[in-house]
Structure 1
Amino acid sequence: MSIYLKELRIRNFKCFETLDIELKANLLLLGANNVGKTTLLEALELSLLTYKNVSKEMIFLNKNEILDNNKIAIIDILIEPEEKEFSDEWYDHFGAFVIEGEEKDGVGIRTILKYNDLKGEYELEKKAMNQWPKSDEVEQFIDYNKHPIRKELLDAIPVFYLDAKRDILTDMNNQYSYWGKLTGNIELAKEHVDDIEKSLKEIGQNIIDNSDILGYVTQKLNNVSKIMGTNNRSVEINPITQKIRDINKGMQIRISDEFSESFSIDNLGMGTRSWTTFLTLAAYIDLKEKEMKSKQKPFFPVLLLEEPESHLHPQAQRKIYQQMKDLKGQKFISTHSPIVAAQVQLEEILHVHKNGSSSRVSSINLDNLSQNEIRKIKEEVVKSRGDLLYANKVILCEGETEEQVLPVFYKHYFGHECFEAGINVIGVNGSGKYKPFLQISRDLGIEVFILSDGEEETIQEISKFYKQIFGEIGESLKDKNVVFLPNGADFENYLVNEGYKDELLDVIDNIEGKENFIETYIKRKHKTKGGRVETEEVCQKCKQHIYKNKIRDYSGEHGINSAIVDILHKKKTEYSAIIAHKIIERQDTTSIPLAIRDLFDRMNIKEETNEFNS
């Protein structure tokens, strides 16, 4: 790239009240629905168009604010060269609009959405800026270049927008689509056009002459001359296109493989049709580049691609992202696909999220991170738990038991699934693995909560990570975001201690297929190993799960409790969800363990859920 879009600033446009973004060669926009990803793409599009219909709905309003016709929206875009200065080609193209800077030259273009009193409607106004203002001076800035920005200037930086509703069948009937632009002007030498059209006419007439039905219909339609009151009119049926200029109207795309005859693309699913639209755009960009090169004009495309993974299976999603990367120009892609997100560099991710009445954009801060820490974020979060990137809130827990039971308890407590409110529950697989999840949650503005085992070493480890990620934290923040299980317990011990023994015994009997299995288990262990049982522990040095033979005293009530925990530890995944469902059979929400109710109450979910459902 000889140039690129360096920075975007937005004031009062749609859901963005104030936004400054540093742009990259490729950017991936992530976030839940209705948070502003499409709006961001629209702002980029408007910054490079000389005309588009706009309306009052594009002006940002705070809650209960009444629109004043004097309120405007501003979109500023900064274009910079790859090197310190523009190449001769681009310098000649931008001319008087070039801002010469100490570090780099640039071109600043302002787009204003304003109300026109005479027309009674909103319109776009484009101005070149004589300097790039500081962020807090954007709305007061008035130092504009005296020369108007003409369409020819922006033709060299065309913007291509491919929305999520794309379908090649629709495009084939739209002369303004990329397919329509590609096929609407088939350039052939005149002698070839004459020969081909003559042949087409002969083929069409041959079809008519040899078809009794078409001949009969033609004869009947010629009665139109009686209605029109003239004998000089006639009607003809063209079974195929007669003119080269109209040949695109009868085109078909057909697909075949080695095992079948070809068939029309309208018989295929939306995945193939969507992908074909994307490939059509790629072909159009290649042709435009050749055209501009032949005219010795600069060319730098900007691509705005909305959910390119729509209707595609996982393997196809990986392929299409690689094809997008290979396209020329600067790419801005919105996606709901963790598969696509896992393929980008961390610095290319932008997270769009709501913050009150306005939307915000966050990125992952890689400053002061080692390569190993960056790798952990990429491997342990983005690639393995990419759904975190789309959450409004996240609950982190230590293992798979909590990961399975928390969604069950959540639904029982609030009456809807946690994902409906944009809340993810993620087991980090060990107390030593919280840090990358905390890092990415903080940087992307995702509120994070933790339900943790209560061992002293675990408490110290999580507190250390909190301090590293969030800085020195006070007890109030820690109390709000983290719930430790009491008395040094892990989750299974906690359930026993909190009085859920009956439910646990019922689940064990059901899974093992034997009534009073706990008694059999205790007798067998004492008989076969003289009281020694294999218990799961975590080696604090290598953080690996290991098994050791320890002497267990299973006598009395305490022994039964120990046996229950030992059984649950050995089959965590098998027991977890069933235990949760068994507990909520008590019906009352107070049946949910107190520590988990405490966690839910601290998250203020009830208030946010009401807003979500409305």
Structure 2
Amino acid sequence: MQLHELEVENYRAVRRARLSFGHTTVLIGENDSGKSSLLEALVRVLDGGAAEEPPNFESFQFHRDPVKHEIVGPIRIRIVFREREAGEWAGEVYAPIHDLLLRAGEDCREVAFELRAQPEGEVVWRLKSGKRKTSDPEVLRWLREFTPAIHLRAGMLTGYGTETLPCAPGLCRTGETELDEKIAAIEVAAERLISKTSPNQESDLEAGFKATRELLQLVTLPRDRKAPNLARRVREILGKGIDLNSSQPTLPGSNTSSEKLGILLLIAALLRVARGAMAKEMEPIWIIEDPEAHLHPKSLASISYFLSDIRWQKIITTYSGAMVGSMPLSNVRRLTRRRGVVTEHRVDVTQLSGVELRRIGYHLGAHRGAACFARMWLLVEGESEMWMLPQLARLCGYEFGVEGIECVEFAQSGLAPMIRVAEQLGIGWHVLADGDKAGQTYIDTIRRTVATKDRQGRFTLLNEPDIEHCFYKHGYAKVYQEHARLGGKSTRDMDPRRVIQRAVQTLSKPDLALRVIEAVAADGSPGVPDVLQKMIRTCVKVARSQSK
């Protein structure tokens, strides 16, 4: 049983939204994209501790008209579950919904939870499959107990946010002395490391990590039958990343202090938030918000390793390019919100070949994971543009980082696939092409890929063979001539191509780009070439339009 889709209307900042989910879903978007409101709506419905009562809503949770500040209408929440494979729900564990279901066939069946809450306080709900429906409270209880949303809020890995838990902070207890001693040791070590009150950080880290190992060993021993819920919880947390049948279970990816700290904090946080009993058959939905908060990148890398091994469905929100880069592109959902309407953008992998998907995934994953957060991609051919354009924009009075513009190389991945990915993720784009044969080929690609009415402002084609020749022609020839070092020979009448090649050989392209930027910034310089100024203004305009 897997969460397949969530629809929300009139909840907090969200006027309307529809999200899709897979086994692992990574949600990204700007601070006002509505992610938190949507996850909160999901958690309110699938609260495992709420028994059979539908959630109640306060007046501040109803969406309001931004001008009149009046409640727009009732809250509507629709949650769709789907079989992972046809016939999955035939098992006895799904008996509470058997009366709703159609006969199993070749297609996966669906069941939808639908809720409507009026501002006056009336809340009605039903569980529906096709034309069959029920509002039996026991079915709602079963749904919440079987697929509870286990919510790890932002900052909880490092202790921030624990005050938001419904119970006082503290890890679960089993009533078994030996197990509780290990849990307490994990709690003490994590708390000291989080609060920076440890008299000896290395000692506390080793003690906490040792307790984690020993807890794992205790709850996975065949002879242990005294803490089955805790055993299931640890199995759930650690998933397939460890050999639970071993008499000496090991924790992979735990060679350095940062990796050990990441594992310790993850185990402590998950034990804390999942303190309730975990039934044998339950299929929880893990919601993990911003796991990178307050963490060193190496600790985050270790946590990412374990997150990938959590057995059941996961929804992860993040602002980390490294986290996004570690996930398959097909898992990413980029959310935008305009006038209260949240739109989901995702890559349709069926529109990319295996080679294209692999190249783009590697390029974004290894180098440009943060590009998925951008409002606008300035697609460029090479490293000179990557170095120069953000600095040139600054000289024009713009900051690419603030505007949400990311320079992205496309030569390794191919231009057409990068354009498709940008459009599917809802990211604006503009191509800077050299004025040579290859550049003209790229412009032809745009003309084949993009409809005529949508080409306006999509590309800039230099008149010169490349950006170096552009600056050479627009008043910066002396920079290249100075660094060509041709043994005293005059460069005044020499072919610019030869001068530029020698300058690049002498300094390298990044260093030469820096010298050009310094020359552009100097008093009395010719300034940024008009063609590049116009392109920068176009990109800023597009990026700003994406945020409205």
TM-score by length of 2: 0.75
What is the aligned residue count? 481
Partner of 1:480: 457
3-state SS of paired residue (2:352): coil
Matched AA of 2:538: R
- What's the counterpart of residue 537 of structure 2? 601
The answer as to 2:118 corresponding to 1:114 is yes
Q: Structure 1: which 5+ runs fail to align?
A: 117-121, 133-142, 193-243, 513-517, 525-553
CA distances 1:282-316 after superposition (whole Å, capped 9, x unpaired): 44798867x523xxxx4111110001122333332
Report the CA distance between 1:366 and its aligned residue: 0.9
Partner of 1:539: none
Q: Which residue is 1:160 aligned to?
A: 150
| Counterpart for residue 128 of structure 1 | 127
Structure with bigger gyration radius? 1
| SS, match of residue 533 in structure 2 | helix
Please tell me whether residue 353 in structure 1 is matched to residue 336 in structure 2: yes
Measured in 1, the distance between the counterparts of 2:542 and 2:355 equals: 39
Q: 1:367 to 1:250 in 2, by over 3 A?
A: closer
| TM superposition shift of 1:273 | 7.7
Distance 1:174 1:456 in 2: 60
Q: Distance in 1 between matches of 2:543 and 2:308?
A: 42
Does the alignment pair 1:94 with 2:97? yes
Q: Report deviation, 1:30.
A: 2.0
1:252 counterpart SS class: helix
Task: Assess if the C-alpha contact under 8 Å between 1:274 and 1:310 holds in 2.
Answer: no
Q: Is the deviation greater in 458-467 or in 304-313?
A: 458-467
Q: Which residue of 1 aligns with 2:175?
A: 186
1:127-163 per-residue CA deviation (whole Å, 9 max, x = no partner) reads 323538xxxxxxxxxx853534543441222111111
Aligned partner of 2:528 among 588, 592, 601: 592
Q: Show the counterpart of 1:145.
A: 134
Task: From the superposition, tell whether residues 441 and 325 of structure 1 become closer, same or farther in structure 2 (CA, over 3 Å).
Answer: same
Taking the aligned partners of 2:352 and 2:543, their CA distance within structure 1 comes to 37
2:250 corresponding residue in structure 1:
none
Determine helix, strand or coil for the equivalent of 1:364. Answer: coil
Q: Secondary structure at the match of 1:182?
A: coil
Contact 2:12 2:60 in 1 (8 A): yes
Map residues 327-342 of structure 1 onto 2, 5 A cutoff.
327-342=310-325
What amino acid does structure 1 have at the position aligned with 2:81? Answer: I
**CA-to-partner distance for each residue in 1:7-51, whole Å, 9 max, x for gaps?**
222223334433333321111112333323323322321332356
Q: Does 1:369 align with 2:352?
A: yes
Confirm or deny: 8 A CA contact 2:158 2:294 kept in the other structure. Answer: no
Tell me which residue corresponds to 1:79.
Answer: 81
| Structure 2 partner of 1:423 | 405
In the alignment, does 2:546 pair up with 1:581? no
Shift of 1:386: 1.1
How far 1:424 sits from its partner (Å)? Answer: 0.9
CA contact (8 A) 2:151 2:286 kept: yes
Q: 2:440 aligned with 1:450, yes or no? A: no
* Structure 2 unmatched runs, 5+: 209-256
Q: Distance in 2 between matches of 1:398 and 1:36?
A: 35
Alignment check: 8 A CA contact 1:492 1:568 kept: no
CA contact (8 A) 1:54 1:123 kept: no
- Give, in angstroms, the shift of residue 573 of structure 1: 1.0
| Counterparts of residues 260-299 of structure 1 (less than 5 Å) | 261-262=203-204, 276-283=264-271, 292-293=279-280, 298-299=281-282
Would the aligned equivalents of 2:170 and 2:272 in 1 still touch at CA under 8 Å?
Answer: no
CA distance in 2, matches of 1:458, 1:477: 20
Q: Which residue of 2 aligns with 1:463?
A: 444
Deviates further, 603-612 or 458-467:
603-612
AA of the residue aligned to 2:31: N
Q: Cα RMSD between the aligned structures?
A: 4.1
* C-alpha contact 1:394 1:426 (8 A) present in aligned 2: yes
Shift of 1:593: 1.0
1:381 and 1:437 in contact (8 A); partners too:
no
* SS in structure 1 at match of 2:305: helix
Which residue of structure 2 aligns with residue 565 of structure 1? 500
Contact 1:62 1:357 in 2 (8 A): no
SS in 1 for 2:522: helix
Identity of aligned residues (%): 17
Residues 545-593 of structure 1 deviation map (CA, whole Å, 9 limit, x = unaligned): xxxxxxxxx77x44274454233443211111331232133479x8221
Q: Deviations over 1:59-83 (max 9, x none)?
A: 34565354236x0121211122223
Contact 1:174 1:180 survives alignment (8 Å): no
State the distance in 2 between where 1:425 and 1:91 align. 50
Pick closer, same or farther for the CA change 1:594–1:72 going to 2, 3 Å: same
| Equivalent residue, structure 1, for 2:21 | 23
1:522–1:428 CA distance, 2 compared to 1 (3 A): farther
Q: Is the 8 A contact 1:28 1:332 kept in 2?
A: yes
Q: Partner amino acid for 1:93?
A: P
Task: State the match for 1:495 in structure 2.
Answer: 471
CA distance in 2, matches of 1:379, 1:560: 39
